[in-house]
Amino acid sequence: MTESPGSRRSGGDSTLDRLIRILGAFDTDRPTLSVSALARRAAIPLPSAYRWVDRLTAAGLLERAPGGTVGPGMKLWELASRSAPGTSLRQAAMPFMDDVQAVLRQHTQIAVLDANGVLVLERLSARGAVPNQATIAGRMPTFTTSLGLVLLAFSRRHVTESFLAEHAGELGAPLKGPWHDAGPATSGGSGTSGGVTLRGNAQNVVNPTEGELRQLLAEVRQQGWASADGQIDSESTGVAVPVLSPEGHAVAALGVVVPRSSEFRPGLAPMLLAAARGISRALGPQAVMPASDTVFPQHPPVVLPDTAE
């Protein structure tokens, strides 16, 4: 029996639900999966997973990789690239990012905020630059990065409040995820701009409490930019500024990652603010954040914990 996209199975699980979980099972840490791992992460029976893989590879949405694994296919990339909400933002930002990168020769990146946190749209990196965990189409922590702090500080109030309510369980808790520095831990607490010092170091980061975060966001709004020293990589500092809509709300965050001892640090914020204003002008009056004014949550995380395979 053929399932329609919205049809419900006996357990209340629709075909569309399964498709979303299957495609959402892949991420930057797991670009390919064995079929059994895919079945676990998508929470579907193994026989169903094999049938789905056969159908989706035939359609080009998945493709088979070496070692018997599967990953997202070129057709999926084509469809996403053709109508991606961030395409116009990326195109507007690239000339200004190129200018910043030509001066710094480290990392320059632009990101947006959606229901699941900071999403990196583009990154420019120089050979020999300091470590940077950001990847294009990858996620970064929201509460402990300069990108995330700027996006929260300058988003519309109801968007920020909705995001904080949805992620309240993460506040004051250890940072979870693949963002761990490979080098030795730094001594003492690493700081951010303003009067709030985030606890931990690049190997043991603790998200700020709600009170600490609200104080920090107020300070970021007042000074117009954010920095985070050694929170993700002990050798690196992130500095970010908002790209604003005509109404003064964050469309995106423009950021750089430089050495913590960088000679460029005193001039980073003014340079980035000038570039961000240029991006805002290039976007024009139609500048909107890809997530726009939608109240979170939009798309809850679809991947489930599993054991490594």
Tens digit of each residue's pLDDT (9 = 90 or more) over 124-170? 999 999 999 898 888 899 999 999 999 999 999 999 999 999 999 99
CATH number for domain 15-80, candidates 3.90.1200.10, 1.10.4030.10, 1.10.10.10, 3.40.50.720: 1.10.10.10
Q: Is 203 a residue whose pLDDT tops 70?
A: no
Tens digit of each residue's pLDDT (9 = 90 or more) over 207-257? 889 999 999 999 999 999 999 887 778 888 999 999 999 999 999 999 999
Backbone angles phi, psi at 263, to 5 degrees: -70, -15
> Up-side HSE of residue 178: CA atoms within 13 Å toward CB?
11
At 172, the pLDDT band (50, 70, 90 cuts) reads confident
Domain boundaries, the chain: 15-80, 84-286
pLDDT given for residue 262 in this prediction: 64
- The Cα–Cα gap between 36 and 118 comes to 29
- How far CA 290 is from CA of 50, 140, 159, in Å, comes to 34, 17, 13
pLDDT given for residue 124 in this prediction: 97
- The Cα–Cα gap between 95 and 256 comes to 15
pLDDT given for residue 146 in this prediction: 94
Tens digit of each residue's pLDDT (9 = 90 or more) over 1-57? 444 444 455 455 789 999 999 999 998 788 999 999 999 999 999 999 999 999 999
Q: Which CATH superfamily is domain 84-286 in?
A: GAF domain (3.30.450.40)
Mean pLDDT of the chain: 81
